Amino acid sequence: MDITLKNVRIYAGLSQETVAFAASLYADGKKVGETRNAGHGGNNDVDVRNKEGRWDVALLDRMEAEAATHTWSYEGETHNHNLDSYIGQLVDDVLEQRDLKRRCRTQTLFRIPAETYQHSEYHFLKRKYSEVVKEHLVKKYGPGVEILNELARKEVR
């Protein structure tokens, strides 16, 4: 099962301890409900409905089982997600993609082939990405240089 969020709306002004948001919840490409968080530190609210508009406990259980197949790490320990934490991860991914897209408007973000990076680490130039900048990076670091501006253009549309 593929769990995704669409129509994610972030309410930064309401966020206190957690991210305040509202989103449509999809399973295998079909809208199955809504999810939201008021931003006060509580769990995400998940409302899953069947075609008749009734709360679908069986689907919710299947979604919980799917979420448990995904993991997260903290201080060297790996843990399985539950649906709540998995939705939180999906919201964090949306925020990261939006930030990446915003930064790519004015900077060039890249990774050098011989270096090791954490998930969202990269080098940056305070220059807007262009073919000239790409040529410079390829000349300096080799053809394996990974330019995130090119990836962001493909992923975030």
pLDDT tens digits, one per residue of 148-157: 998 765 554 3
Residue burial 50-63, b: 16+ Cβ < 10 Å; e: rest: eeeeeebeebbeeb
| Domain edges within the chain | 3-96, 105-155
- Global model pTM greater than 0.85: no
65 phi and psi, to 5 degrees? -65, -40
Angstrom distance (rounded) from CA 52 to CA 76: 45
**What's 14's DSSP letter?**
G
pLDDT tens digits, one per residue of 53-65: 899 999 999 999 9
Angstrom distance (rounded) from CA 139 to CA 155: 26
Residues above pLDDT 70, as percent of the chain = 96
Helix H or strand E segment including 103: helix 83-104
pLDDT higher than 80, residue 83: yes
